[in-house]
Amino acid sequence: MPHSHCHDGHHDHDHDHESAELGIQYNLFEKIDKENLQCLNETVDGSGKTVFKPWDKRLDRTQFVESDADEELLFNIPFTGNIKLKGIKISSEDTDCHPAKLRLYKNKPNMTFDDIAMEPDQVFELQKDSQGYLEYAPKVVTFSSVSHLTMHFPCNFGADNTKIYYIGLKGEWTPAHRHGVTICTYEARPNLDDHKLKHLDSVTKHID
User: Which of 8-12, 44-48, 127-131 has the lowest average pLDDT?
Assistant: 8-12
Q: With beta carbons less than 8 A apart as the criterion, state whether 88 and 155 touch.
A: no
Q: Please check the confidence at residue 4 and state whether its pLDDT lies above 50.
A: no
The pLDDT, as a whole number, for residue 2 is 36
Q: Is the pLDDT of residue 66 over 60?
A: yes
Strands 101-106 and 65-66, by their bridges, are unpaired
pLDDT(185) > 70: no
For residues 104-121, average pLDDT: 97
Rounded (5°) CA angle 144-39-132: 65
pLDDT digits (tens, 9 = 90+) for 45-63: 999 999 999 999 999 999 9
Task: Check residue 12 and give its pLDDT.
Answer: 42
The mean per-residue pLDDT over the stretch 89-100 comes to 97
Task: Check residue 1 and give its pLDDT.
Answer: 35
Q: What is the mean pLDDT of residues 142-165?
A: 98
pLDDT > 90: percent of the chain: 72
At 171, the pLDDT band (50, 70, 90 cuts) reads very high
Name the CA radius of gyration of the chain, rounded: 24
Over residues 102-116, the mean pLDDT reads 97
Place 178 in a pLDDT band, splitting at 50, 70 and 90. Answer: low
3-state DSSP helix/strand/coil percent for the chain, to nearest 5?
A: 30, 30, 40
Question: Domain boundaries in the chain?
Answer: 28-176, 177-208
Angle at 99 between CA 141 and CA 127, to 5 degrees: 70
Q: Which residues contact 36 (CB under 8 A, 6 or more apart)?
A: 78
* The CATH classification of domain 28-176, taken from the options 3.40.50.1450, 2.60.120.470, 3.90.1720.10, 3.40.50.10300: 2.60.120.470
CA 38 to each of CA 95, 134, 202: distance values in angstroms, whole numbers, following the listed order: 25, 25, 59
Segment 10-31, tens digit of pLDDT = 334 445 666 778 778 899 999 9
Q: Return the higher-pLDDT residue of 6 and 12.
A: 12
Beta strands in the chain (DSSP E): 38-40, 65-66, 73-91, 101-106, 122-125, 146-153, 163-164, 166-175
110 Ramachandran zone, left/alpha/beta (phi>0; psi -120 to 50) = left
